[in-house]
Amino acid sequence: MTDHAVRNILIVGGGTAGWMTAAAVSAKLAGLPIAIRLVESAEIGTVGVGEATVPHIRHFNAALGLDEADFMRSTQATYKLGIEFRGWGKPGDSYIHPFGAYGAAIAGVGFHHHWLRARQGGDATPLEAYSLPVMAARQGRFAPPSPDPRALASTYAYAYQFDAGLYAAYLRAYAEARGVVRTEGKVADVALRGEDGFIAAVTMENGERIEADLFIDCSGFRGLLIEQALKAGYEDWTRWLPCDRAAAVPCETVEASTPYTRCTADAAGWRWRIPLQHRVGNGYVYSSQHIGDDDAAAALLAGLEGKAQADPRFLRFVAGHRRKQWSKNCVAVGLASGFLEPLESTSIHLIQVAVTTLLELFPDRGCDQADQDEYNRVMTLEFERIRDFLVLHYHANQRTGEPFWDDRRNLPIPDSLAYKMELFRDRGVVVKYKDGFFLEPSWLAVYLGQNIVPRIYDPVSDSVPDAVLAHRLKAIRGSIAETVRAMPTHDDWIARFCAAGSGTPARTVTA
Amino acid sequence: MTGSPLSSVAILGGGVAGWMTAAALTWVLPPACAIRVVETTDAAPCGALSTLPALRGFHGLLGLDEAAVMRTARGTFKLGARYGGWTAPDQDHVEGFSDAGANLDGVAFHHHWLRARQRGQAGRYEDYSLAAVAGRLGRFTPPSEDPRSVLSTLSYGLHLDAAGYVAALRATAGRVQARAGGIAEVVLAPDGVIAEVVLADGERLVADLFVDTTSDGRLIGATPDGGWIDESTALPCDRLAQREVAPRANPPPLTEFEAVAEGWLRRVPLRGGDAVTLAYASDLTPDDAACSVLGGEAKIVRLRNGRRERAWSGNCLAIGPAASQMESLNGDDAQAIQSGVSRLIALLPTADGSPLAAMEYNRLMAETFDRARDMAVLRYLAATRIDPLWARARRGAPPAALAYKQAQFESRGRVVLYDEETFVEGAWVGAFLGHGITPRRHDRLADRLPADQADAALARLRGLIRQAALAMPTHAGALKDRS
């Protein structure tokens, strides 16, 4: 060990980002002489919009050693097999982006090529008939994947829909049990070192001065340390992702909870619906250029399935990311690092990637420029690849006559996305990169779900005789339908495995 | 499908590139599609191939029986490569085909090794790679499929005689029509695609797709996109002298690379003889001097390090030396061909051409070449020899991607992997450390493991690996079993 080792870390800001960071850092650094503190103020509300997650959260929880049932009970969690997109291609369309592949390769050729071939031959079966998680989601069923890699039921993953505020509280208890010291209060001042511009300390409103070797900025959009003190700069992506506001409101549950999140296209953006055990989270992400706050709130309330439990809360943001998410001895995590609308539930995922990458590159007190460069390279790539995937949803629409949607279809898109779309349109090729969160099945779900159909399919598909292909397709459909029939309903599974305990309203369990 | 399928493919050149392409295409193209190979003398196979384990996957897809291939191509097993004289005249290291060590406490092994090394408790990094240890001991056994066995960490490549390998590929490509011939003229249509290829005897070849597997890119070079990106500054050798010498009683299952004043010497064990190659620069070493380094008559082959800007242009796609050439310093012979063939199949064009598929192919192949080139360039940059050729190689600035990768490794042992890497993380770690590039610090998380526990775990691992290697049959014995 060197003399330059980090001895203490200060996390500024609680919320989902702050407590996920505190939990992961305290778990991974256990055994090393490093003190971890977190300052937060109960007066500053947390955003907690990101209530839906992607399957990677399960690795995060597993690395912490969390008990799944306990975690789910404590956070009012439900299961998530994918996201339903309503009205994103044409009004009235619906597709589900699942956490799992469609079918399986035949003769070394990707399944979707065979599906395209069958479709050209007149077979009208929708692609989703070949996705186990979509078929289960459509029927409101859930069971955990099989551990047997040969089983069809092993070919999907799942995530959670939970109350982010409760998740933060759960992780707070975890982190505090592992020695993280929490201090209540607001930061009044940030002091920089004269010689190198590193952060020396923060001063709290009560006058306490807290020094640290490494600062983690989880202060939210404003970026108290990374932007206000260190002027990291912001890469603004409004030209591609113009939504800059959201209105959020929870409502009562009135029907069986769905094992998926729903994103419904609306006049000036889209509405989310996230079913939890005790309520349904709702919101409207919109462009303030295209709709006023009052009209947006009215549209949001009009679309609720149950009684609103509060007045809508409004949030403002700018799509993009800090030019340097790590600058000097400060790493920004969560909204302090950038913002991408939660269309694909990536907010919590980006926190997870940030914390994991920080731990992989855990610095000395000097914070080598090499570590900062690599962190910023990795995180920028992550943001850019998610950005392209989000822009695809907006761009590939057929909602003619609606100004917001006409703009999305007609205005330029990032070159990197244009290239991917061209390749897919031409011959169904999904361009692959080593890094980047969304893999081939995700791109297929959105391309095909939003009616982008390739000009040709892979010619090698023709090496499979028609009759053999028809037989294989039928067999896959059949075994998916059979497997789904054997699954319990989502509500049944929750009731059996992880229903939130007493103190929450009893819920009707549908058979 | 709209767009009609390929009805004819003409492969000009032959050799390893031509026949790997032909053999693979017979599997994916419909019987109605004619596949022709015109073998030109310049593309005739010569010398030996030192290949990566990935080639065995290609054989699996083709249904090629490995034992049969090894018989026809005088094959031996390869567990990695030994580099001698690179960091100092009397020093060497082995880069084996099994990742060194094991993750301890969730932290990559090389960080634990770096930490133990500070206390002088680590031994050589290669001592933790079963393939490297067995390779040095001249021993071989196939990997175990039981993940609990230390033998499951092994993988292996093959040493093959190029001419024998072509014979084996040819035997599986039954429907391919082959003939010998010379290329007299490449006739372009007004739009720059190839209209026909006229052979020396007057035959005119027409095809939906022309695959250029000649040694110098006669076809692709004639197209408007056929520009060549030269890499001779970083990779200075432009000649290979090849010779075969008497076999050793028990050759190690390794390709051996020796840094010498003229360039580098490679020794590949084949059944019945060792294929030796000297790579050198013709302006510094005359051909006859190269021959005397090898101790006798040698075949001289020209080498032009670099790649096409676009290996696929219109209806012409170049694979092998026509598309890219690189000093085979990484022991990755046939890898560029394999990835070219696999990507051609994944992006198979229709009869009317597929410009977008070509664009994607060219992007992928350019990235692939550049990342493998970085590995070869690293070996020159890290070398300590000061002879004119070696000094010349270090004159230029390293490619930006390699400079960043090396800086990251030197800082804290981080391995940056870009898109389309041929070599995985473990291979880069083995190359960096083997060539004497050592991180300034290790991952702090490694410090969670108490030092005495870490030392004990490392010592146990070294012992286990050595024991497992000593229990294997000799390479010569394993070859006898296989034949």
Look at residue B377 and tell me if it is in a domain.
no
Q: What is the dihedral of CA A42, A43, A49, A55, to 10 degrees?
A: -20
Question: Which long-range contacts link B447-454 to residues 24+ away (Cβ below 8 Å)?
Answer: B447/A1, B447/A32, B447/B115, B448/A29, B448/A30, B448/A31, B448/A32, B448/B105, B448/B107, B449/B104, B449/B105, B449/B107, B449/B112, B451/B115, B451/B116, B451/B119, B454/B104, B454/B112, B454/B115, B454/B116
Statement to judge: residues A205 and A73 lie in one domain:
yes
CA-based torsion, A217, A223, A226, A232: positive or negative: positive
Look at residue B433 and tell me if it is in a domain.
yes
Statement to judge: residues A340 and A218 lie in one domain:
yes
Distance from CA of B434 to the nearest CA of A (A): 22
pLDDT > 70? residue B240 = yes
Statement to judge: residues A133 and A169 lie in one domain:
no
- Contact of B417 with chain A, judged by CB distance below 8 Å, is answered with yes
pLDDT > 80? residue B371 = yes
For chain B, what is the mean pLDDT? 95
Number of domains in chain A: 2
Distance from CA of A447 to the nearest CA of B (A): 18
Statement to judge: residues A35 and A146 lie in one domain:
no
pLDDT at A43: 78
A99-146 pLDDT, tens digit each = 999 999 999 999 999 999 999 999 999 999 999 999 999 999 999 999
pLDDT > 50? residue A510 = no
Look at residue A239 and tell me if it is in a domain.
no
pLDDT at A46: 62
B401-418 pLDDT, tens digit each = 999 999 999 999 999 999
Look at residue A241 and tell me if it is in a domain.
no
Of A31, A120, A360, the CB nearest to B1: A120
Q: What is the dihedral of CA A111, A114, A119, A125, to 10 degrees?
A: -40
pLDDT at B105: 83
Of B5, B404, B419, the CB nearest to A433: B419
Q: Is A351 exposed, middle or buried (0-12, 13-18, 19+ CB in 10 A)?
A: buried
Q: Which residue, B77, B468, B466, B471, is CA-closest to B254?
A: B77
Look at residue A226 and tell me if it is in a domain.
yes
pLDDT at B101: 82
Chain A (459-498) residues lying within 8 Å, Cβ to Cβ, of chain B: 459-463
Look at residue B427 and tell me if it is in a domain.
yes
Statement to judge: residues A361 and A467 lie in one domain:
no
- Over residues A186-211, mean pLDDT: 97
Statement to judge: residues A225 and A327 lie in one domain:
yes
CB A42 within 8 A of CB A57: no
Q: Which domain does B113 fall in, by range?
A: 98-154+397-483
Q: Which amino acid is at A53?
A: T
B301 phi/psi in degrees, rounded to 5: -120, 135
Statement to judge: residues A352 and A433 lie in one domain:
no
For residue A168, give the CATH number of its domain: 3.50.50.60
Look at residue B401 and tell me if it is in a domain.
yes
- Contact of A422 with chain B, judged by CB distance below 8 Å, is answered with yes
Decide if B418 and A361 are in contact by the 8 Å CB cutoff: no
Statement to judge: residues A353 and A398 lie in one domain:
no
Lowest mean per-residue pLDDT among A220-229, B116-125, B265-274: B116-125
Q: Which residue, B459, B447, B414, is CA-closest to B432?
A: B414
Name the pLDDT band for B2 (thresholds 50, 70, 90). low
CA distance A428 to A413: 20
Look at residue B419 and tell me if it is in a domain.
yes
Decide if B30 and A117 are in contact by the 8 Å CB cutoff: no
Look at residue A274 and tell me if it is in a domain.
no
CA distance A417 to A387: 9
Statement to judge: residues A393 and A480 lie in one domain:
yes
CA distance B470 to B467: 5
* Helix, strand, or coil (residue A210): strand
CB A161 within 8 A of CB A51: yes
Look at residue A352 and tell me if it is in a domain.
yes
Statement to judge: residues A368 and A457 lie in one domain:
no
Could you count the other beta carbons within 10 Å of the beta carbon of residue B124?
Answer: 17
Name the pLDDT band for B104 (thresholds 50, 70, 90). confident
Number of domains in chain B: 1
Look at residue A510 and tell me if it is in a domain.
no
Look at residue A43 and tell me if it is in a domain.
yes
CA distance A499 to A207: 45
Look at residue A215 and tell me if it is in a domain.
yes
Tokens of residue A137, six digits: 């989601």
Look at residue B294 and tell me if it is in a domain.
no
Query: How does DSSP classify residue A99?
Result: S
CB-based contacts of B420, cutoff 8 Å, min separation 6: A434, B364, B367, B368, B371
- Contact of B400 with chain A, judged by CB distance below 8 Å, is answered with no
CA distance B18 to B20: 6
pLDDT at B94: 98
A80 is catalytic: yes
Residues of A with Cβ-Cβ distance to B417 under 8 angstroms: 434
Of B7, B58, B356, which to mutate for an interface test with A (greatest number of A Cβ within 10 Å)? B356
pLDDT > 80? residue B483 = no
- Contact of B411 with chain A, judged by CB distance below 8 Å, is answered with yes
Of A80, A324, A328, A420, which residue is the catalytic one? Answer: A80
The whole model's pTM is what? 0.95
Q: Which domain does A435 fall in, by range?
A: 112-154+385-485
Decide if A434 and B420 are in contact by the 8 Å CB cutoff: yes
Element spanning A182, H or E: strand A181-184
Which of A361, A381, A401 is the endpoint of a domain? A381
Statement to judge: residues A68 and A172 lie in one domain:
yes
pLDDT > 80? residue A505 = no
Residues of B with Cβ-Cβ distance to A359 under 8 angstroms: 445
CB-based contacts of B25, cutoff 8 Å, min separation 6: B9, B35, B341, B345
Of B348, B404, B447, the CB nearest to A1: B447
Of A32, A370, A423, the CB nearest to B447: A32
Statement to judge: residues A480 and A389 lie in one domain:
yes
Name the pLDDT band for A42 (thresholds 50, 70, 90). confident
* Helix, strand, or coil (residue B458): helix
